[in-house]
Structure 1
Amino acid sequence: MTHFMCLQCGVQFAETELPPEHCPICEDERQYVRWEGQAWTTFDDVARTHKVAMKDEVGVLAFGIEPRFAIGQRALLAETPDGNVLWDCISLVSDEVVAEIKRRGGLQAIAISHCHYYSAMVEWSEAFGGIPIHIHADDRQWVMRPHPSVVFWEGETLTLNPSLTLVRCGGHFAGGQVLHWQRDGGSAILSGDILQVVPTRRHLSFMHSYPNQIPLNARTVRRIATALEPFDYDDIYGAWWGSNVIGDAREAMRVSVDRYLAAIA
């Protein structure tokens, strides 16, 4: 029995004797099946050919897989006086990474923006003693490896500790969430690609599907803006290495929403 992992999206599945016939995440219109067809790997096989890289991303410790694997996202460590939270997730975890996070105070929880980054979330949870993985209940159907550590929450916001609040924005997925981080020196939004930081690093975009280039409608984008309106933030950290809006991010969000709505009007 093996927890097979989709080679295209990097998401680990429930234990089976043979690889699953389908990956629902990749067959959904927001992702895609490899041109060569559906294929599978395992956590151990990826660990033999890849490694977890740790980098400082403008004052935030980030983790990614090298060479690039699957979608290629990074994870971020939100460090607070009341406990640390891993934001988003990747398909590998290593002893070196676990040791470094424990040196910084360990992990209180994991929170993930949407299903494309569920990856090896259970492996990460178990590496820290089975800590909770916070996912919005509207995305329940996309959890391919059910586990007692997965906690589904409902509503519009969830306070993880005095410094960290999950905000359901929807958009890319119904349960798409971001993490608001109240911190000294400038608060931040950790956004995954619920808010997509574009190459200018001064603007954001909003899509139903990024690889298939399906935009969101105006009503949905306005709802995202409304969900974030109560929060102050200076920076936005996106899903990829270097994809950050540093300084004036709240204004960048306002301008980006107006620009997007004008473009699709």
Structure 2
Amino acid sequence: MEKSICITCGTQYPPSSQQPECCVICEEERQYVHPDGQQWTTLEDMQLSGTYTNEFIDEQSGLQSITTQPSFGIGQTAYLIEERGFRLLWDCIAYIDEKTVNDIKEEGGIDAIALSHPHYYTTQVEWAEAFECPIYIHEDDRQWVQRPSDRIIFWSGESLQISEGLVLYRLGGHFDGGAVLHWSKQSDNDAVLLTGDIIQVAAAREWVSFMYSYPNMIPLPAKAVKTIAEKLKPLAFGELYNAFHREVSGPADAAVQKSAERYIAALEGRLF
């Protein structure tokens, strides 16, 4: 019985004697099936290959990024946040091995995992079992969970406080349950927003953008972007980190609002 992993997106499926017929995540219009067709691997095969390793970078006090090298699947970055002694893994990457687990445990382990949206669920159950912790996913995205687990907690409503200083907000947009993490740091007043790609950092780092599908270039409607901006208006944050190691620095909250205004103006034909 093997737990197949989609090579294109990194989603892990339940134990089975046969590979899935298709990857449900990749077949959907927000992702894509590789031009060479559906391909599978397993976590065990990845570990035995000797190809992959996880790179840890200290981004700032209390914030560490984790990225698989060479890139696998979508190639996203996960973040480990420590606030007031609580350690939260924000989003997930597919590759996990004994060294990764031991290195994290030496620093204090993981108390909880929270996900922005289904493209980053990957091997979340492997991570949760390794660290004996819960996984938080918004209930609006329940249908996209491919490997069920008793460790998954489906939260509801517009916000959820995971721990002091760490609050999830449902923004929707890219997915119905699309969530971001607001980190109010005890050490200073400069809060951080971690967005996965519910909000994406642009090439010009003072701007962000919003999409229904990034690989297929399908925009979100103006109404959805306006809702996202309105939900974020009450929140102050000086920095914003996306899922691809891009950052907007001070004032990031203003950057989100001006970016939303520009996006809506473009869709409505007022920008150019």
- The letter of the residue matching 2:157 is G
Structure-1 separation of matches of 2:60 and 2:213: 28
Shift in Å, 1:118: 0.5
- What corresponds to 1:201 in structure 2? 205
Alignment of 1:161-180 (within 5 A): 161-180=163-182
Residue 94 (1) aligns with residue 82 (2): no
| Aligned residues between the structures | 263
Instruction: Check if 1:236 corresponds to 2:236.
Output: no
Q: 1:227 aligns with which of 215, 231, 238?
A: 231
Matched residues in 2 for 1:64 and 1:213: separation? 24
| CA–CA distance in structure 2, aligned partners of residues 248 and 233 of structure 1 | 7
Cα distance, 1:82 vs structure 2: 4.2
What secondary structure does 1:255 align onto? helix
TM-score (norm 1): 0.96
What is the one-letter code of the residue matched to 1:107?
I
Structure 1 unaligned regions, length at least 5? none
Measured after TM superposition, the shift of residue 58 of structure 1 is 4.3
Quick check: 1:13 aligned with 2:13?
A: yes
Letter in 1 for 2:160: L
Question: Mapping of 1:42-81 within 5 angstroms?
Answer: 42-47=42-47, 48=49, 49-59=51-61, 60-81=63-84
Matched AA of 1:53: E
Instruction: Report SS of the residue matched to 2:167.
Output: strand
Find the aligned partners of 2:116 and 2:99 in 1 and give their Cα distance. 25
Q: 1:32 is paired with a residue of what secondary structure?
A: coil
Distance 2:8 2:21 in 1: 14
Instruction: Give yes or no for the alignment of 1:127 onto 2:130.
Output: yes
Deviation string 1:156-214 (CA, Å, 9 cap, x unpaired) is: 00000111000000000000000000003311111000000111111100000000000
Which stretch has the larger CA shift, 49-58 or 77-86?
49-58
Counterpart of 1:11 in structure 2: which amino acid? T
The 3-state SS of whatever aligns with 1:5 is strand
What is residue 214 of structure 2 aligned with on the other side? 210
Structure 1 counterpart SS, 2:19: coil
Tell me if structure 2 keeps the 8 A contact 1:83–1:105.
Answer: no
The amino acid that maps onto 2:37 is G
Indicate conservation of the 8 Å contact 1:82/1:161, yes or no.
no
Change (3 A) 1:190 1:196: same
Q: Which residue of 2 aligns with 1:140?
A: 142
Q: Counterpart of 2:155? A: 153
| Coordinate RMSD, CA, aligned | 1.1
In structure 1, what is the Cα distance between the partners aligned to 2:148 and 2:250? 38
Structure 2 residue runs of 5 or longer lacking an equivalent are none
User: How far is 1:238 from its partner?
Assistant: 0.4
> Post-superposition shift, 1:98?
2.4
Of 52-61 and 35-44, more deviation after overlay is shown by: 52-61
When the two structures are superposed, what TM-score results if normalisation uses the length of structure 2? 0.94
SS in 1 for 2:86: coil
CA distance in 2, matches of 1:139, 1:67: 29
Q: Which aligned runs of 4 or more in structure 1 are off by greater than 6 angstroms?
A: none
Show CA shifts across 1:222-247 (max 9, x none).
Answer: 11112212211111010012x01122
For 2:166 and 2:234, locate their aligned partners in 1 and report how far apart those are by CA, in whole Å.
Answer: 14
In structure 2, C-alpha distance between the alignment counterparts of 1:247 and 1:154, rounded to whole Å: 31
Q: What is the SS of the residue equivalent to 1:226?
A: helix
Report if the CA contact (8 A) 1:54-1:97 is conserved.
no
Name 1:260's counterpart in structure 2: 263
Cα distance in 2 for partners of 1:34, 1:155 equals 35
Q: Which residue of 2 aligns with 1:182?
A: 184
Q: Aligned letter for 2:65?
A: A
